Amino acid sequence: METLVFQKPSRIKKDCKVTFCPGCDHGVAIRIIAELLDELGIADKTIVVSSIGCSVFLNDYYDLDIVEAPHGRALAVATGVKRAKPDKFVFTYQGDGDFASIGLGESMHALSRGEKVTAICINNTNYGMTGGQMAPTTILGQKTTTTINGRDAEVQGYPIKICEMAAVCDGAAFVARCSLDSSKEIENTKKMIKRAFESQINGLGASVVEILSICPTNWRLSPQESHERVRRELYPVYPLGIYKDKANK
Amino acid sequence: MGRVVIDSEKCKGCLLCVEVCPRNVLKKSETYNSKGIYPVYAENKNNCIGCALCAKRCPDMAITEVYR
Amino acid sequence: MIKTGEKVLLKGNHALAKAALNAGCKCYFGYPITPQNEIGEYLSVEMPKMGRSFLQAESEVAAINMLLGAAATGTRAMTSSSSLAIALMQEGISYIAADNIPAVVISVMRAGPALGYIFPSQGDYFQTVKGGGNGDYKTLTLAPSTVQEMIDYTYKAFHLAHKYRTIVFLLADGMLGQMMEPAVLYDYPYEDIDNSDWALDGAKGRPGRWIGSIHRTETALEQKTLALFEKYDKIKQNEIEYETMFADDAELLITAFGSVARIAKAAVKRAREAGMKVGLFRPISLWPFPTQELNECAKGKKVVLDIEMNMGQMVEDVKIAVNGESKVEFFGRPAGYYFTPEEIYTQIEKTMEGLK
C-alpha cells in the first residue's frame, strides 16, 4: 500500500505553469510558503501583497486573495491591508530591489512601526525581470548589465544588507536570512518562514525573511553553478542566520 | 520502495532534482517535450525510496506527487 | 459633540474631517502639509476613540499606497493632502484607478509651482482632472465652494467611490480649508454598498481574488482599459453636477469652480443689480465635466468669461464645451492673492464694455 508523502499545497493553482527561468528559486519559495499556509491553517484568512519584478506574477500560482503593490510599496500596501483588516494574515512577496532600493523607506518604516505583517524578500543580487541590472544588494565585484566591470565601491558604493538593517528596527519581531541553495537550506528556509509567520500570528510585530536566491539567466551560470556561487560568494557577504527573534530573547 | 510522478510538460530541464536524488533515480530524457525541453524522467524506478527531495527541490512543481 | 442638524460655526477642514467620520471612513493615511493639517490632526484624536485606524505615514508615497491596500479590502478609507504632495501620489492614484477600487483623496490646493507657498490656489485643476499618473484613467473630481459643501461633497465622494469602485477627488483649496462659517452636519445620507463580490478578505470557501494592473497579453490589457472606460461612460451619464445662476438671459456667462465660483456669485449679483445681463455656470463635477450642459447654456451668449485662480486651466475644458457657440475669454491670476468680488465686478464691467 502506497502512501502519498508529497503533493502540491492546496493553494497552488491546479493548472499553474511556473513561468520563471529554468532553475530559478522563486518556484521553491512560492511552494514552501503555500505549504506553510496549509500547515498553519491560515490560508482562508490570508491576503498577499505582490510587488513589481519577477514577483509580480503571484496570481499565476496562488489561489489566494492577492493585491499588487506598485514598485517598492509592498509594505505600505500591506500596512493598509492590515490596518483595514487586523484579523487577516498578511504577507508581502518582494525582490531585493523592491524591498531595499526603491522601497527602502516603506520597508524600514513598516518594520519600525511594528506592523503585524511578514515580508518575504527574495534576494538574487540583481534586477532579474529587467535583464540583470545592478541591485542594491549586488556585491562588490559582481558583474551586471549596468556594472559590466563589476560593482566598484568607489563608483556604485556598497551593497545594502537587508537583515542587518531590519534588525535595528525596534518594531521588527523576527528577522532572518536563509538560502535555497541545497535541500538542507530549503528545509531551513521553511522553518524561518514558519517562525516569521508565527511571530505575526502571535502579534509580536513585523517580520522579515530574506532568502538568498539564484538568477541563473542573468548570472550567466547554470542552476548548479548558481547555487555554488551563493555558497562561495554570497554567504561571506550575507551570512545566514536569525538576526532578531523577539519570541526567544 | 517509492514512486515519483513527473509532469514532463512542466519540467524545464534544470536537472536540480537529478543532483539531489540520493539513489540516482532520475535522468534527463532523450526526447523533448512540447516546449522543446528534454525533461527528467525516472529511469531507475526501482531505486526510488520516496524521500521527496527531488520534489522539494523542483522549482517548477513538475514533480507533482511522491509516494512511499 | 455636535448634534445632527445643528447649525454650527465650523472650519472647512474640520467640517470635512467630521463628515468623513460620519461617512464611515475606517482608515486614514496621510502626511502633514499645510493647508490641510487640521484634517489629520482632528482624525488622529477622533478615530482611535471610535476603534478606527489613523496612521501618519512616512511620506505621501506611502500614504497613497496604504490607501490602496485598505481600498483593496473594500474598506472606506481616505487620504488628504495638497498640491506638491498630491504630485507624489500620482503613481498610486493610477494604480487605484486601474485596480477598480474605491478610495477618497482630499486635495486642499495651495500655491505652486513646486513649493510655492500655503496661499490658496486653483493651480491643480490639471493635476487632478487630467491626472498626473500614467495611462488612460480618469479621476472623478468634486469641487466644493463652501464649508457646507465640504460636508456635502465629502459624503458624495465616499458614496461615488464605492458605487463605482473608483478613486474620487474632493478638490478644495486653502481658502475653503481654513475659513470658518456656519454649516450643518447631518447623518451620512447614502446606503451602504455591498462589496462582497470583489473585496479581499481571505479566500475562504471561494477562489482567490486578484487585484492588480498587470496584463500580459494585448487583448487582456485592451479589454481591461475598455471596461474601465465603460465605467467612466456610466459615471458621465449619471454623475455630472453643476449649478447655474442668472444664466438663462445672460449676455455674459461666467464659468468658475470652487471658491472662485463663490466669489464670482457676489460679483454677478452686484452686476445684475447694476442692470448688466450677467450669469454664472459653475461646474461642480470637474470630471466628468458638464460639457454638453455648458454647451447648451453657452448658446446665444455674447461671451463666456472663465475665471480661475490660476493662469488658465479649466478654460481648456470650457472652450471644448462651448465649441464655438460663443466667444470664450479668460480672466485669472496666479496663485497668491485670491480674487475680491470687486475685482471680478470690474472685470465684468470691462468685458461688458467690450461687447458694445
* Facing residue for B14 by CB, picked from A12, A23, A31: A23
B56·A7 Cβ contact <8 A: no
Predicted local distance difference test score (pLDDT) of residue C1: 57
How do C285-287 and A46-50 pair as beta strands?
Answer: unpaired
C337 confidence band (pLDDT: 50, 70, 90): confident
CA dihedral sign, ordered C323, C325, C329, C335: negative
Mean pLDDT rounded to a whole number for chain C: 97
**Average of per-residue pLDDT across C204-228:** 97
Chain C residues in contact with chain A using a Cβ-Cβ cutoff of 8 Å: 26-27, 29, 53, 55, 57-59, 61-63, 65-73, 75, 77, 91-92, 95, 99, 200-205, 207-214
Q: In A, which residues are within 8 Å of C212 by CB distance? A: 50, 56, 59, 66-68
Predicted local distance difference test score (pLDDT) of residue A15: 86
Say yes or no to pLDDT of C131 above 60. yes
Number of Cβ atoms within 10 Å of the Cβ of A148: 8
Q: Strand, helix or coil at C201? A: coil
B30 to chain A, closest Cα gap in Å:
18
pLDDT tens-digit profile of C32-45? 999 999 999 999 99
Domain that holds residue A178: 26-130+161-248
Q: Which single residue is written with the C-alpha cell 527574495?
A: A122
Chain A contact present for B55, CB below 8 A? yes
d(C-alpha B36, C-alpha B14), whole Å: 13
pLDDT tens-digit profile of C215-226? 999 999 999 999
d(C-alpha C173, C-alpha C131), whole Å: 17
Predicted local distance difference test score (pLDDT) of residue A200: 98
Q: How many domains does chain A have?
A: 1
Number of Cβ atoms within 10 Å of the Cβ of A87: 8
B38 to chain A, closest Cα gap in Å:
12
pLDDT tens-digit profile of C318-332? 999 999 999 999 999
Say yes or no to pLDDT of C2 above 70. no
Q: Which single residue is written with the C-alpha cell 494585448?
A: C218
User: DSSP class of residue B24?
Assistant: -
Cβ C34 vs Cβ C110: under 8 Å: yes
- Does residue A152 lie within any of the structural domains? no
Chains that touch A (3 or more CB pairs under 8 A): B, C
Predicted local distance difference test score (pLDDT) of residue C47: 98
Best residue in A47, A71, A111 to probe C by mutation, most C CBs within 10 Å? A47
Chains that touch C (3 or more CB pairs under 8 A): A
A81·C72 Cβ contact <8 A: yes
B61·A31 Cβ contact <8 A: yes
Best residue in A79, A91, A115, A169 to probe C by mutation, most C CBs within 10 Å? A79
Q: In C, which residues are within 8 Å of A47 by CB distance? A: 72-73, 200-202
- Does residue A48 lie within any of the structural domains? yes
d(C-alpha B11, C-alpha B42), whole Å: 13
CATH number of the domain enclosing A110 = 3.40.50.970
- Each residue's pLDDT expressed in tens, for chain A with a length of 249 residues: 899 999 999 999 998 889 999 999 999 999 999 999 999 999 999 999 999 999 999 999 999 999 999 999 999 999 999 999 999 999 999 999 999 999 999 999 999 999 999 999 999 999 999 999 999 999 999 999 999 999 999 999 999 999 999 999 999 999 999 999 999 999 999 999 999 999 999 999 999 999 999 999 999 999 999 999 999 999 999 999 999 999 986
pLDDT tens-digit profile of B8-64? 999 999 999 999 999 999 999 999 999 999 999 999 999 999 999 999 999 999 999
- Does residue A233 lie within any of the structural domains? yes
C73·A81 Cβ contact <8 A: yes
- Does residue A21 lie within any of the structural domains? no
Say yes or no to pLDDT of C240 above 80. yes
pLDDT tens-digit profile of A118-141? 999 999 999 999 999 999 999 999
Domain that holds residue B54: 3-67
Q: In B, which residues are within 8 Å of A23 by CB distance? A: 12, 14, 16, 59
Q: How many domains does chain B have?
A: 1
User: DSSP class of residue A14?
Assistant: T
Predicted local distance difference test score (pLDDT) of residue C132: 85
Chains that touch B (3 or more CB pairs under 8 A): A
d(C-alpha C242, C-alpha C244), whole Å: 7
A46 to chain C, closest Cα gap in Å:
5
Chain A contact present for B53, CB below 8 A? yes
A and B adjacent (3 or more CB pairs under 8 angstroms): yes
Number of Cβ atoms within 10 Å of the Cβ of C7: 11
- Does residue A144 lie within any of the structural domains? no
What ipTM was reported for this prediction?
Answer: 0.97
CATH number of the domain enclosing B21 = 3.30.70.20
Buried b (16+ CB within 10 A) or exposed e, A217-230: bbbebbbbebbebb
Domains and CATH numbers, chain C: 7-238 (3.40.50.970), 242-355 (3.40.50.920)
- Does residue A9 lie within any of the structural domains? no
B22 to chain A, closest Cα gap in Å:
11
Cβ C79 vs Cβ C28: under 8 Å: yes
C62·A105 Cβ contact <8 A: yes
A108 to chain B, closest Cα gap in Å:
30
Question: In the structure, how many helices (H) and strands (E) does chain A have?
Answer: 10, 10
